[in-house]
A and B are shown apart, each in its own frame.
Chain A
């Protein structure tokens, strides 16, 4: 019996490569910003492809928050938010990143610290995100550019079939017109404030690279869904999928996605398994437990239970690909309803059922955090389709609320329900 380590093991070459690249990229970004280039801080649901096209250095708020959390620093940054009188219990993902703007010694942050952004961009989802970014926009030298977060009255259910080519039908013209116009304005704003140019041919190239990257993720997802036993667990796949996602539209990210696919294929061909004694295939719903990636492997040794599915590979496979002759509208289609794919029924609920079926899932562990996002209907749809669901409650950024008893509860559920 190999020992099951409580820290995660990055066993894929692409995961190691993605981690190494991330450090290099960030060091390079810090160097460019120190040399006077503009720096943009974006929310995950903001179309980065614009910034990529214009070669404006940017980082993603959620990535930074996950790094801070992995370094056990989120409590510190939330405390800085509290010291300014703001709530430390609200939308912690963005609050942690805001907290790094308040630090007296920014360079004391992880990896030399987050440089001060010139531009911060978010979509105005929920009640709080825009407020947080707006507060940030009042820091010296920072400009805030908000995008709307619009909603649709009626939508077709089968978004994952429509999105690649028939996104107009899936998202609807009202939201597409709005975001397309906002993005055209964003380009003009960036041209004006940074002096950089937006070349249409470069934009088409970036869009094509992003689609290629996600197509490789799609092929990898298909392999993971089919292979028995699972060639890898979510711990292996998350870094190889997530980190390149922040570099969408580069050759590096496209090539890494291809190499990830090849690694998965080689493992399947060689009969390698995350857990050769696989007896149960588990689905993870919710954000990743960044500060405790070992959690996902704790159930392998005792139960032969492997987490084979998390949203990160699956949403890369289904959530981003958009083809079409009008690249700005296609880009708007990528983001105008992005989070609905994961969080809004009927899209979310039906998609999870489709994924659970295609991956041969035996049980679902659902991380419910306080942010209110349609999770009941996801669980309900999975249960209605015959999948046992265990809900655990925690907020993945705030280590103060996570509970070690979760491990015990999951084990009990595996014994009593999934493997009974």
Chain B
């Protein structure tokens, strides 16, 4: 039997495609960090997060979305149009960042004016993040609408309690797995953790593999190397992790939605109210939090994972993280470098190669 880590890494190579579970269930591709996946599980649909591919062209994405949008969204759109995700019954999009929202509008409009494009119907779940009661009430309404829509699609009631419990368990295990990379030396690389967290598996299978991974922890290799905290843009693929770790670094923490950022509090037993609150308070992401919140979070996370170097990676077309950097640097007591306007899937590591990387 392969190790749990090997099985998780194998499942990660299938990112952007459906898992092997129940072939009769409807298939939903979703976009962004703010889709309440618990509801998709509760509806009994097969759901997976749509990811881009920096190695295949996305000219059609450029055409429909314009080149000012995060290339991840452009790539996802191009792959949808190329049928790379297989047959999808629905697409669910969140408003986690401007690129996701523009992607939703493009999908909605293409569905309307170019029915020949073969795109399924897209649905927007508009979860917002200002820390106010007005926003909390709005989110609760949107969560309720989405739950009702899912019931209408599938024609059956949601099993919310069971789904939330399963996702909470997965979250708890992922937080435990994150401790393995915080160990000194790290027992998981950043690239491995990305695979562990984003393996494409039904929740119960994912949970079983995570349990086995933790049981096998003392067989995991040790990873020395300069300990890096990776801040900034989302990483829907391992390319940038591989580039940074290929030069003697190990990424021990990050603050984006495919990594350690979303392993926060469990949803618990509060039903839709609790779910709405959890998604309201998720983050702090580069796209929805203030620079001050991001800086405070970075200082705490860097301390917890014993990072020696802070790298803020900002993809060209994804400008929000660059606004966080001055505050983040001021809040840290380790060197910090900014990689600005990076090409999708690449990292210009010149700054990391300097002995003293701070630009000041």
CB contacts (< 8 Å) of A376 on chain B: these are 63-66, 106
Contact A127 B319 (CB under 8 A): yes
Q: A380 within 8 Å of B by Cβ?
A: yes
Q: Which of A87-95, A201-209, A289-297 contacts B (4 or more CB under 8 A)?
A: A87-95
Interface positions, chain A 128-146, Cβ under 8 Å from B, are 128, 130-132, 134-135, 138, 146
**Given that A90-B323, A127-B286, A381-B113 are known contacts, is A370 also in contact with B142, CB under 8 Å in the complex?**
no
**Given that A87-B319, A148-B138 are known contacts, is A373 also in contact with B102, CB under 8 Å in the complex?**
yes
Residue of B whose beta carbon sits closest to that of A173: B141
CB contacts (< 8 Å) of B287 on chain A: these are 127
Residue of A whose beta carbon sits closest to that of B95: A151
Contact A131 B291 (CB under 8 A): yes
Among candidates B124, B130, B141, residue contacting A151 with C-beta atoms closer than 8 Å? B124
Q: B348 within 8 Å of A by Cβ?
A: no
Residue of A whose beta carbon sits closest to that of B103: A372
Interface positions, chain A 51-91, Cβ under 8 Å from B, are 84-87, 89-91
Contact B141 A87 (CB under 8 A): no
A135 to B326: give the CA distance in the assembly, Å.
11
Contact A344 B105 (CB under 8 A): yes
Among candidates B138, B290, B292, B318, residue contacting A177 with C-beta atoms closer than 8 Å? B138
Q: Which of A108-116, A178-186, A250-258, A304-312 contacts B (4 or more CB under 8 A)?
A: A178-186
Contact B128 A150 (CB under 8 A): yes
Contact B63 A131 (CB under 8 A): no
Scoring B95, B112, B124, B290 by chain A CB atoms within 10 A of each residue's CB, the highest score goes to B290
Q: A24 within 8 Å of B by Cβ?
A: no
Instruction: Give, as a whole number of angstroms, the nearest-CB distance from A338 to chain B.
Output: 16
Contact A85 B325 (CB under 8 A): yes
Q: What string of 1s and 0s marks CB contacts (under 8 Å) between A233-255 and chain B?
A: 00000000000000000000000
A417 to B245: give the CA distance in the assembly, Å.
53
Instruction: Give, as a whole number of angstroms, the nearest-CB distance from A10 to chain B.
Output: 32
Q: A37 within 8 Å of B by Cβ?
A: no
Contact A148 B128 (CB under 8 A): yes
Residue of B whose beta carbon sits closest to that of A147: B130
Q: What string of 1s and 0s marks CB contacts (under 8 Å) between B97-122 and chain A?
A: 11101101110110011000000000
Instruction: Give, as a whole number of angstroms, the nearest-CB distance from A332 to chain B.
Output: 12
Contact A152 B105 (CB under 8 A): no
A221 to B168: give the CA distance in the assembly, Å.
57
Contact A370 B68 (CB under 8 A): yes
Instruction: Give, as a whole number of angstroms, the nearest-CB distance from B182 to chain A.
Output: 29
Contact B126 A153 (CB under 8 A): yes
Instruction: Give, as a whole number of angstroms, the nearest-CB distance from A383 to chain B.
Output: 12
Q: What string of 1s and 0s marks CB contacts (under 8 Å) between B55-84 and chain A?
A: 000000001111111000000000000000
Q: A300 within 8 Å of B by Cβ?
A: no
Contact A174 B102 (CB under 8 A): no
Q: A345 within 8 Å of B by Cβ?
A: yes
CB contacts (< 8 Å) of A84 on chain B: these are 326
Q: What string of 1s and 0s marks CB contacts (under 8 Å) between A182-210 and chain B?
A: 10010000000000000000000000000
A370 to B341: give the CA distance in the assembly, Å.
14
A245 to B112: give the CA distance in the assembly, Å.
34
CB contacts (< 8 Å) of B323 on chain A: these are 86-87, 90, 128, 131-132, 135
Residue of A whose beta carbon sits closest to that of B142: A174
CB contacts (< 8 Å) of A91 on chain B: these are 319
**Given that A86-B323, A86-B326, A128-B319 are known contacts, is A374 also in contact with B105, CB under 8 Å in the complex?**
yes
Q: What string of 1s and 0s marks CB contacts (under 8 Å) between B329-360 and chain A?
A: 10000000000110000000000000000000
Contact A126 B134 (CB under 8 A): no
Instruction: Give, as a whole number of angstroms, the nearest-CB distance from B222 to chain A.
Output: 36
Q: A368 within 8 Å of B by Cβ?
A: yes
Q: What string of 1s and 0s marks CB contacts (under 8 Å) between A325-369 and chain B?
A: 000000000000000000011100100000000000000000011
Scoring A84, A127, A132, A380 by chain B CB atoms within 10 A of each residue's CB, the highest score goes to A127
With A147-B130, A148-B128, A174-B141 known, 6 other A-B pairs at CB within 8 A are A86-B326, A87-B322, A127-B287, A152-B126, A376-B64, A381-B113
Binding site for A on B (CB under 8 A): 63-69, 95, 97-99, 101-102, 104-106, 108-109, 112-113, 123-124, 126, 128, 130, 132, 134-135, 137-138, 141-142, 145, 286-288, 290-292, 318-320, 322-326, 329, 340-341
11 A–B pairs (Cβ distance < 8 Å), ordered by A: A124-B130, A127-B288, A127-B318, A138-B292, A151-B101, A151-B104, A174-B138, A345-B106, A370-B68, A371-B68, A376-B66
